[in-house]
């Protein structure tokens, strides 16, 4: 059975500590997919919520010290209870605070999957890559080598997204090429993707790389269909149709349209 079908069948609870920009979009995207979102960051409850969730997703998009402490508590609880843990290091490298926070998070907990743009992932492992705000900047490094280095260093799956996406655990590496440029014109499409990866990991039974690869293909194909159906309309129409497609795309459809190749 596909991981998508398992998500829709088991409706996994996904605990999100996320930013104020994308909380609603991420919750609606997870619901559309077939998962069950829970946005919560109070210190008094995150340990319990992480423990009974099927995945925990941490996103530093609008960080502050309170939220960071929430993330440490939730992340460590997820680790203690064997719950898959995703980190989206939004804007790592844009300020020294963000860089320090992401490095603290990866040092204090074991991440299952790190998902970010190239500059963010580089900065998490202390390599320099230019970044402007929360959007990736230009760089001249090898993205595949960077992803594999980060995966080995952090002992997790690393997903670097952009026009093509690199998905690796340091030993095996895939390039996924579905998607559409209009995704870059709707805020939160990276953040929602990280949450969707969490939902797929929730049903992965340890096969994190395979589940992440499927999540990327599913997401990219849903975006392609939504873009096609809203051709000539604005980004608002695309955003709504994209949510529709997250609920409508079947495993057969994305397996048929998926463009993913294994490098090693």
Cα distance between residue 38 and residue 132, in whole Å? 30
Tell me: does residue 184 bind ligand ATP (CB under 6 A). Answer: yes
Residues 10-39 that bind ligand TZP (CB under 6 A): 19, 21-22
Cα distance between residue 94 and residue 18, in whole Å? 18
Q: Which entry of Mg ion, ligand ATP, ligand TZP, none binds 181, CB below 5 to 8 A by partner kind?
A: ligand ATP
The CB-of-239 to ligand ATP minimum distance in angstroms stands at 13
Cα distance between residue 228 and residue 226, in whole Å? 5
Q: Which stretch binds ligand ATP (CB under 6 A): 59-67, 145-153, 157-165, 256-264?
A: 157-165
Q: Which stretch binds Mg ion (CB under 5 A): 75-83, 167-175, 189-197, 235-243?
A: 189-197
Spatial contact of 205 and 216, defined as CB atoms under 8 Å apart: no
Beta strands per DSSP E along the chain: 13-17, 36-39, 55-59, 85-88, 113-117, 131-132, 135-136, 157-161, 165-168, 173-176, 260-262
The CB-of-191 to Mg ion minimum distance in angstroms stands at 6
Tell me: does residue 179 bind ligand ATP (CB under 6 A). Answer: yes
Would you call 51 helix, strand, or coil by DSSP? helix
188 among annotated binding-site residues: yes
161 among annotated binding-site residues: yes
Q: Which stretch binds ligand ATP (CB under 6 A): 63-71, 101-109, 177-185, 199-207?
A: 177-185
39 among annotated binding-site residues: yes
83 φ/ψ angles, rounded to the nearest 5 degrees: -95, 130
The CB-of-48 to ligand TZP minimum distance in angstroms stands at 26
The CB-of-187 to ligand ATP minimum distance in angstroms stands at 8
Contacts of 10 (CB under 8 A, 6+ apart): 54, 202, 203
Spatial contact of 50 and 78, defined as CB atoms under 8 Å apart: yes
Q: Which entry of ligand TZP, ligand ATP, Mg ion, none binds 19, CB below 5 to 8 A by partner kind?
A: ligand TZP
Q: Between the CA of residue 55 and those of 35, 83, 118, 241, 256, what are the distances in Å? A: 10, 5, 24, 26, 27
Q: Which residues bind ligand TZP (CB under 6 A)?
A: 19, 21-22, 61-62, 90, 134, 187-191
- Tell me which residues touch ligand ATP (CB under 6 A): 117, 134-136, 161-163, 165, 179-181, 183-184, 189-190, 193, 219-220
């Amino acid at each position: 059975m596909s991981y998508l079908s398992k998500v829709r069948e088991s409706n996994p609870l996904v605990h999100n500590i996320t930013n104020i920009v994308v909380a609603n979009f991420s919750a609606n995207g997870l619901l559309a997919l077939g998962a069950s979102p829970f946005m919560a960051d109070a210190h008094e409850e995150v340990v319990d919520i992480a423990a009974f969730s099927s995945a925990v997703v941490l996103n530093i998009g609008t960080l502050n010290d309170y939220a960071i402490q929430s993330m440490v508590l939730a992340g460590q609880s997820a680790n203690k209870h064997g719950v898959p843990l995703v980190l989206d290091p939004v804007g790592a490298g844009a300020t020294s605070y963000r860089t320090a926070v992401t490095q603290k998070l990866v040092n204090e907990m074991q991440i299952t999957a790190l998902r970010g743009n190239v500059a963010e992932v580089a900065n998490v492992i202390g390599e320099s890559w230019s970044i402007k705000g929360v959007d990736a900047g230009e760089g001249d490094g090898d993205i595949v080598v960077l992803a594999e280095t980060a995966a080995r260093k952090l002992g997790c799956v690393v997903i670097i997204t952009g026009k093509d996406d690199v998905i690796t655990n340091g030993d095996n590496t895939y390039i996924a090429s579905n998607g559409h440029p209009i995704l870059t014109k709707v805020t939160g499409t990276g953040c929602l993707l990280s949450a969707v990866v969490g939902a797929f990991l929730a049903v992965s039974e340890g096969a994190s790389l395979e589940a992440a690869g499927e999540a990327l293909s599913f997401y990219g194909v849903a975006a392609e269909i939504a873009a096609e159906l809203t051709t000539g309309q604005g980004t608002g129409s695309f955003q709504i149709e994209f949510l529709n497609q997250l609920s409508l795309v079947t495993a057969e459809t994305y397996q048929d349209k998926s463009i993913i190749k294994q490098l090693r």
